[in-house]
Amino acid sequence: MSVDAAEALTTLASTPRLLVALDFDGTLSPLEDDPMASRMLPAARDAVAALSALPDTVVALVSGRSMRDLRLIAEHLDDSPLWLAGSHGAEYWEPGSGLRPADDDPDAAALRDRLQQRAEEATAHLEGVWIEPKAFGLGVHTRRADAAAAAEANRLVDEIVAEQAPAWRRRSGRDIVEYASRHEGKDSAVAALRERTGATAVLFAGDDVTDEDALGSLKPGDLGVRVGEGDTVATMTVAGIPELAALLMRLAEARAHPGP
């Protein structure tokens, strides 16, 4: 489904309280071989800053990254106006009050630590594979691995998790498979942010399979934007990060200077 961009932006610009929720990797920042090297493109940063400076406009980053890593790559300081939802919505940062602690069961944390170590040991011989420790699980990165090594890494870690944590949630993304004891998704993150901010409309943008839950959860009057190619339930698609940045800047300008 596609919508007219000008009409959609005009509608969003006039909503009483707007939430702009954005994935980070591949949406605001190019995908990097070293995930911790990710940073917003300057145009994306400018658009995010323009929107977050407007009254009754909330900008939130919604990511599968742990809160610690998300704050690092987003260069998010304590006085930032941006809201954050990390770990697919299991962790939150709110301006003014900071981190909202997530319940972390000691048994689940101990299991997480064991599985992170086992995954690292099992895949250590596979070139280009990196195990990312996450707040509630782990990620298997294979962006720098060849197809055979990637398949073997995913097989090995699948077996480990299936044996020791069969109830964990498994998510596949671009060159990453994530496993988590928490089952929150970006759909529940957007819903929680909508409620907490009192938003009357939402724009959500993302580029990967893990963003489709959020895109599919949007309501009439919201706008879902897919960044890049791929099957999607989004109502609008843009070619890449520069095009999304331009769209966001148009929204900021329309909201700052509403027509008659």
pLDDT digits (tens, 9 = 90+) for 1-45: 456 788 889 999 999 999 999 999 999 999 998 889 999 999 999
pLDDT in tens, 215-233: 999 999 999 999 999 999 9
- Whether the per-residue pLDDT at 102 is higher than 80: the answer is no
Sign of CA dihedral 247, 249, 250, 256: positive
221 in the Ramachandran plot: left (φ > 0), alpha (ψ -120 to 50) or beta? left
- Whether the per-residue pLDDT at 100 is higher than 90: the answer is no
The per-residue pLDDT for 243 is 97
| H helix runs in 74-202, sequence order | 106-123, 147-164, 186-197
Query: In whole angstroms, how far apart are CA 8 and each of 135, 181, 220?
Result: 36, 37, 11
Q: What is the pTM of this model?
A: 0.86
* DSSP designation for 76: -
Sign of CA dihedral 24, 177, 134, 103: positive
- Domains defined along the chain, listed by start: 5-102+184-256 (3.40.50.1000), 106-180 (3.30.70)
244 SS3 class: helix
Contact 204/224 with Cβ under 8 angstroms?
yes
Note the residue count of the chain.
260
